[in-house]
Amino acid sequence: MITRRRTAAALCASVAAAVLAGCAAPAPAPLPTDPFAAALVRLDGRVRGYVEFVDPRVLAAGAGAWSDAGGAGSLAMYADRLAERLRIDVRRADWTVTASAGGPSITLVAGGQDPDAIRTAATGAGWVGTDVLRRDLALDEPLTVQAGAVRPTGHDVVVGGSGARVELVDGPGPALATDPVIAALRDCLGTGIAVAGIYRRDGEPVFAAGIRPASGDPAGTVSTVCAAHPTAAAAGERVAAFRAETAPGAAAPWGGALVEPQIEQLGGPANVVRLTGRNAAHRPPVFLVAQMARRDLPGGLG
């Protein structure tokens, strides 16, 4: 796993020579050990809209109905063709993260990749370029929609549609992880996440949702929704909305969907509110993920 590239622009004055010489850049800081936190460090802070994170190793650690969650992730349905045509092996990844960045989305496939094999296969299939391999949208090659841009980097690869801003992975700017609201939502979700999403749109609430296997019961699921607010008063209103929509007898699907849901007003500068609970027996592990896709989360989120 590579670390996020940082550039140093410091110049040192040399009195004797009366010239300016470049100083060696400090070594980049290591990535966090938690994969979800590491994914947010790899993304540039200019990423807007949404972030989708998937850790297949945590998915594989689940049991029972967790096998249904194995296909989570934006590239899952294209895994076979990506492997055959471009030697991008999504199934061998440590984790993946997809983000919107203005135009086509980008996906970082972290770990398990052979950059030389990817470059050779992509070049042979009509992709051209040096650092980034690109191919224009072509009707005879469906992969140009999801992987018109390909950038192998170490044992990782970044893919996106034709014209996608793949440079927003490991770029020189501040990382998405340094955004105070994003950091607060990350802390709210916690570690050991299997699948997570963060949604940030101008003028709308910023929120995140995630699932993990239940501690001591890999067949069970803990689902969590976190929301940030501009004021404590707005956070208080969210608490009331969560309670109303998750109470027994509330309108489907949230009434009874979570067993003994816990609602906490965490506060802090981002005025975060957290809803967490175990999925009811009749709700699959991917229930929360499906509800995110349908824009149907409790408390008026989505």
Name the residue with higher pLDDT: 142 or 274. Answer: 274
Model confidence band, residue 33 (pLDDT cutoffs 50, 70, 90): confident
Taking residue 185's Cβ as centre, other Cβ atoms within 10 Å add up to: 27
| CA angle (273 as vertex; 268, 274 as ends), nearest 5 | 120
Is residue 107 within 8 A of residue 82, CB to CB? The reply is no
Model confidence band, residue 44 (pLDDT cutoffs 50, 70, 90): very high
Is residue 201 within 8 A of residue 301, CB to CB? The reply is no
Name the residue with higher pLDDT: 217 or 31. Answer: 217
Model confidence band, residue 19 (pLDDT cutoffs 50, 70, 90): very low
The per-residue pLDDT for range 229-247, each reduced to its tens digit, is 999 999 999 999 999 999 9
pTM, entire model: 0.87
State the Cα–Cα distance between residues 150 and 161, nearest whole angstrom.
9
**Structural domain boundaries in the chain:** 34-168, 204-300
State the Cα–Cα distance between residues 299 and 1, nearest whole angstrom.
38
The predicted model gives 268-288 an average pLDDT of 93
